[in-house]
Structure 1
Amino acid sequence: MNKSLLIKIVFVFLIAPLFINAQTDNTTAPEDSGSAVKYPQFQFKGLIQARYLESFGTNVDVLGAHHSTGEVTQSSFDIKRMRVGLNTKLSNTTEVVILVNLADFKSDPKGKVLENAYGKYTFSRYLALTGGQFRPAFGIEELVPVDIIKSFDFSNQYYEFGKNGWTSFQIGASANGSFDIGKNPVSYAISVLNGNGRNQEMDNDNGKQYATRWVFELSKRYKINLGLNGGIGKRADQKVFALGADITSDFKLTDRFTFDLQIEYKQGTNQNLYFSLPADARTPNVDDYQMRGIYFLPNLRYVVDYKKLTSLELSCRFESFDNNFKVNSNVRKTYTPMISLEFGKAYLGRIEMGFEFDRYNKNIPDTSYYNDDLFLIQLQLRL
């Protein structure tokens, strides 16, 4: 039997119980201590990120694009995200999640707006199945909502790997869970994805991308975790791959001071770039087009708890990323120092201020591959 067909059959048998049990579970509720829990349960969520941008780069606009004519917009107010979401628990094991970003309507909304749209069935801590459009686990950032990250936005590598079907919002199915090896907990995720981005009518070829992530706890006291990511697949009969490794840690220095650190490395095929080039302008082998990047994100947090001010945070992410290091290398180094004021618990309100400095090995006029100095103030409110 064809290996690819066998994998698909196994996945169908894994997902089938999700829909079978969903039909039975949503009509009954488990009893706990004599009290029945009523389903369905609804939880509404919302997020707004409004910001002010000012570019100090020569002839570079607020979006990072260089204009040799000198006609540029170097200061602007902007709404980065306006999200509305609904989490519905149909039973104690079945949930449906929907998330849209209304700020995407300010530009061409095609392939945008709808972010999460998936169902999840949890058998136990060892196994849960997810199907639909979701963020597959393939690194640190994929498991953290953008409203609680320690910087203004996700890294450059996150978005580039998203264009290539490994991160961000993708359509497919996933199995995840956790178990113990001795006294050490291990979590895992295995995903099968179309690999051609979100909100697509169908896969654009018969190739699929298979991704996995494993996280090992190295120290419970300092919350040190090691993450390993790997993926293989096909795009238009071309073999593609991605891999990565990351470390997170969280040190409590005093009762009020904590220091956490994220380090993440990724490398993989840049098939998105390869297929965007004319056939006569590229090499025959897609493996010649590869991207790689690494970033360090240290964050110092001081708990204030003075009136409405909850905490003060200082962070500075350093990232080095190259989207085509084999054929036409042009390393982009990005420094993002930021100060953040938190109001309320769990970033209910947040004011962030800082800079984003971009430095390229080679400046390319009239493109986004150009040195830039950007100042940002961002207001965030969530519910």
Structure 2
Amino acid sequence: MKIIGILICLLLCSGCWDMKEINQLAIVNLGAADKDPETGRITAYYQVINPSALTNKQSGAAKAAVYTFKFEDFSLGRFTRQTTTIMPRSLFMPHMQALILSERYAKQGITDMINFVELSPDRRTNVIFLIAGSPIETIINSFSPLERMPGRYIRSLINLSGQGFETGYEPIRIKDLAKGMYRKKPMVIPIVSYTSSEPAKDTNRLEDIDIRKKTFLFVGGAVFRHGRMVGRLNFDEKQRYFLLNKNLTNYIETLTVNGDYVDVEASHIRVRRKFNASGLTYRIRATLRIVNNQQTTPVTRGNIRDIEDKFNRQFEAESQAFVRMAANKDWDLLGIQDRGIRDWKHVKVTFKVESDMSAIGNTTGPHTFERGN
């Protein structure tokens, strides 16, 4: 009876009916898209992994780690069918590292792209989303240094930059965008650019010791409101946005103390917001560590208090400047409207900052040397 029961259970098992051989798949590592605002025609790019180039033994012509396929159509759903006209393998999207859209596509609205990814069962909604600060053709057709696949290179940059975030990553996944579309508070998405006007289509173009001439670079953030790009933030403004919205808990601040530069790492940043009759009050606490000290005087208890006080005042001043900038551009970057407050521009925002120095380095004073005649 046990054997019969086991056999019946085996008959109910589906087995490997949906198994796919890797040599039958076109595994997409990086995707990109552009949309013409006049015609609505969409250009899609699929960067497909070349498995033979990633093995130790490479054949003569198979040197590129990825190949870029380009298609044009008016509907996102038609691209899968189009790939069968040139790709000898089935399109496979679940391993895509990032999705990059052109700036003009983002300004028209990205709701169609979000719906396309969200409603497709074979696509991951945790794929990261980026805006192109350079022409899509340049970004998608360039090799990357140190990493053979540009998609993995860009994903690694995002993972490293997200180490200071509370969750370990920036909230820039497709599913984060889908949730943020219904809020009044805009979302900020990284802008990736390429440092050269010409793409590095072959590895010979990368044979230069100064890699910054031809590489990928993050240059700030794109501001999205209800799924449409409405403007840009520079690097410092983007960082302030995530700090005040409780996403970023660790960053480096440069202070001027006694006429000299002091770089401090602010960590374990705790942000509390409270609405009251007088407006919105922020209470910020941070732990400081000196990472660079150019002062010519020893670090004393009084000097440490000067550094802490300077950090507190500078954090408050920069945050107030950020609030004024957002109001002038009609961007509720603090999400005040999400609390049901319509007249958000007239809400008084105050900052109370407290910091505590935890480490000053191995020595308390600088090394000095007086030159003789």
* TM bucket normalised to smaller: under 0.3
Larger-gyration structure (1/2): 2
TM-score w.r.t. the length of structure 1 is 0.24
TM-score w.r.t. the length of structure 2 is 0.25
Tell me which protein shows more helix as a share of its residues.
2
Tell me which protein shows more strand as a share of its residues.
1
